[in-house]
Chains A and B, each alone.
Chain A
């Protein structure tokens, strides 16, 4: 496979907080349109890894390349890369003082320099995409968790990112709300959005992901397509982990 086929390359990322080494050399490549799910026990560095990709957390060493350009050590150019790397957070982080539509359009205006009319149009298009157009004029406090998360997805999508990072997007939601968010994400994946998803939703990971990366103790322990990970006896640890979730869902 030629180098240029990868939209995102992550090379040997290390990160420590104080004396605890959270990421101990993580590398992987992502092809355009792929959905990669990161699973594994809590505290194994999955979220830190995502934040290292858009440099919200600065890795101690290693490189991140987006379309062949180095994102690490980008200096002030990082703001340019972050527009290309959308991020959705566990707790939504909607801007509390802005309505849904203002949440989506503000970066278009302030960062991309779009005029108010075009930004509004684009924001409404994105809200429609996540089924939130009817709630455009509502404030975050007036939205359910699922609705808030869908607005936050629209906000990230509005920047026309090359890659979307989802950091446990449904962990703060009950099963019903989880479903509405996962539906939106599934639709995005089908439309060809490149997505990196940290999740505990095994059903979603197994049905939507092209690749599952199982992380433990700061490294990628096992990786492969869902079928391979679940059927190949070589991948014992991951299968056992997924199995735990299955026990409860049966």
Chain B
């Protein structure tokens, strides 16, 4: 059989891998934002013990290779806690926890880049600190953070292939399975690569569109007064 026919035959199988990969990335990104943003706020506005706890978290998750983290959680931490989780869940959670560590620092930098006067003015009008953070600081900080944060999507997308190691049936895992069944190597991995590139392109351009949509004249990284 020629490689093209093999590719066409196996393509539906590969295609379901796309959903797994996109699922991994989506869950990981959501976990990353949901944990990363409060962590950034905690580091900027929290009391010292909280700041220290977050620093330790960031240090831990940024200090270990993602494969080591995956093995630690898949074979050690989750089973140790009596949790028998599917590989997909472990993969998404680990990518998410690690992403949160990175994203917290993107958000922290963005929050700290907002001039002190914005908080001062908000407080002078009678806003509480929480109101000021929510209505004044965060809407600005998120706009500043977005270009840096947009790295997270291709980063996590490419990283997700490492979930192969714990047997998540994502794109690379499925590609390898097809290769071992058909002994056709290059066309299959090439197809896998093309799909990754397309996914990366699609997501990145979506984020760029969002960036343009929420842009404000004279405001953005480098323009904050």
Contact = CB atoms under 8 A, between A and B. Distances in A.
- On whether the two chains bind one another, the answer is yes
B140 A107 contact: no
B218 A107 contact: no
B200 to A, nearest CB: 29
Contact of B121 (A81, A94, A111): A94
B127 interface: yes
A140 B218 contact: yes
A139 B217 contact: yes
B139 A142 contact: no
B225 A96 contact: yes
Contacts of B125: 82-83, 107, 111, 155-156, 159
Contact of A82 (B123, B223, B225): B123
A152 B122 CA distance: 11
Interface residues of B, number: 25
A241 interface: no
A204 interface: no
Nearest to B224: A96
B126 interface: yes
Interface stretch (B21-29, B128-136, B147-155, B160-168): B128-136
Interface in A92-112: 93-97, 106-107, 110-111
Given A91-B225, A110-B127, A159-B126, 20 more contacts: A56-B120, A76-B128, A83-B125, A86-B124, A89-B117, A93-B117, A93-B121, A95-B121, A95-B136, A96-B118, A96-B224, A96-B225, A97-B136, A97-B139, A107-B127, A140-B218, A141-B223, A155-B125, A156-B124, A159-B125
Interface of B: 115, 117-118, 120-128, 131, 135-136, 139-140, 143, 216-219, 223-225
